[in-house]
Amino acid sequence: SKNSVVHSFYFSGGAELLFDGVKKHQVTLPSQPEPWDIRNLLKWIKKNLLKERPELFMQGESVRPGILVLINDADWELMGELDYKLQDQDNVLFISTLHGG
């Protein structure tokens, strides 16, 4: 399997509050035989980065409705969503569009 690579994950719009208020995370994902896809990435984030109230970030195996996901500034709906395979140096941005209430 190829070496693990560094990715940058950004959380904003309130989503960062679930990650100790940290907006930018530089992460080296463990190497694995299969390429990392967003589905596995979300599981990893939930297990390793998410600090509280996972139900505000995830629903089932995807992000909950109201969280926008951008991969290198493109909407993940254009990139295959959960099936998108992470490339070296990808930037993944999670923006919560849910506000107060």
Q: pLDDT by residue (tens digit) across 35-60?
A: 899 999 999 999 999 998 999 999 99
Q: Is the per-residue pLDDT at 33 higher than 50? A: yes
The Cα 36–Cα 34 span in angstroms is 6
User: Do the domain assignments include residue 23?
Assistant: yes
Average pLDDT value for residue range 8-15: 95
User: Do the domain assignments include residue 101?
Assistant: no
Residue 53 DSSP class: -
Q: How far is CA 86 from CA 41, 44, 71, 77, 100, in A?
A: 9, 13, 9, 14, 32
Tell me, what's the pLDDT at 100?
57
Tell me, what's the pLDDT at 46?
95
How many structural domains does the chain have?
1
Confidence of residue 1 (pLDDT cuts 50, 70, 90): very low
Which CATH number do you get for residue 77?
A: 3.10.20.30
User: Do the domain assignments include residue 1?
Assistant: no
User: Do the domain assignments include residue 21?
Assistant: yes
User: Do the domain assignments include residue 14?
Assistant: yes
User: Do the domain assignments include residue 55?
Assistant: yes
User: Do the domain assignments include residue 85?
Assistant: yes
Give residue 50's domain range. Answer: 6-96
Tell me, what's the pLDDT at 34?
87
Q: Is the per-residue pLDDT at 86 higher than 80? A: yes
For the chain, the average pLDDT equals 90
- The one-letter code for the residue type at 16 is E
Tell me, what's the pLDDT at 64?
94
